[in-house]
Amino acid sequence: MRILTRAWAKYQQLLITHPWKTQTIGTGVLVAAGDIVTQQFVERKGTNHDFTRTARMGLVGFIIAPVLRTWYLTLDRIVPGTAKTAGFKKMLLDQSLFAPVMICFFFSVTESLAGKRPHEIKKKLRERYVETLITNYKIWPLAQTLNFTFIPIQHRIGFVQLVAIFWNAYMSWMANKPMSETTLEGIKDSVDLIQRET
């Protein structure tokens, strides 16, 4: 127990002395953890775990963390305070402006890092974006209202990422599950068309 207490104290200190680095590394680790959860408990890969994919998802976390921190700092400037009404306003802004863009950004970064071409990314977004956004609205409005109302700014990304271990598992699954036959046929048709035009 003392080890956990010391680790928590060190983490608190690093949040004050190096907030950007600490939150970026923490987010990368937690997004990778979400992929591990997906591969082991949803996809049941066992010893066939795709470590490259986990590393790629961790890199996605490193990329999105500064965006998240910047957004939370901006929200605090736009809507100062932690009263219930301020928390609710921040949640509305977050879910109406940021969440739709962030989901698109997540899929684009994930697919780009996996070596996908723009037309393949567009097809993935067409197939998965709306479903992911709807699932987002089932989870995040309550979590973000609590986050913006009760959680200090230096812990917001951490709180989000703890809640998001399950969200990240879902996002990893959505980003990595096989595409439907219809989408795959559309991609093949697009590639054929591009090859004919060149």
Question: Looking at per-residue confidence, does 48 or 15 come out higher?
Answer: 48
Q: Which amino acid is at 106?
A: F
Provide the number of structural domains found in the chain.
Answer: 1
State the angle between helix axes of 2-17 and 19-37 in degrees (0 to 180), rounded to the nearest 10.
130
Q: Model-level pTM?
A: 0.81
- The CA distance from 198 to 184, in Å, is 21
pLDDT tens track for 136-185? 999 999 999 998 888 888 788 778 877 888 888 898 888 888 877 665 56
What is the pLDDT at residue 191?
A: 46
- Render pLDDT for 64-90 as a digit per residue (tens, 0 to 9): 999 999 998 999 999 998 788 998 999
Other beta carbons within 10 Å of 7? 10
Domain of residue 133 covers 2-197
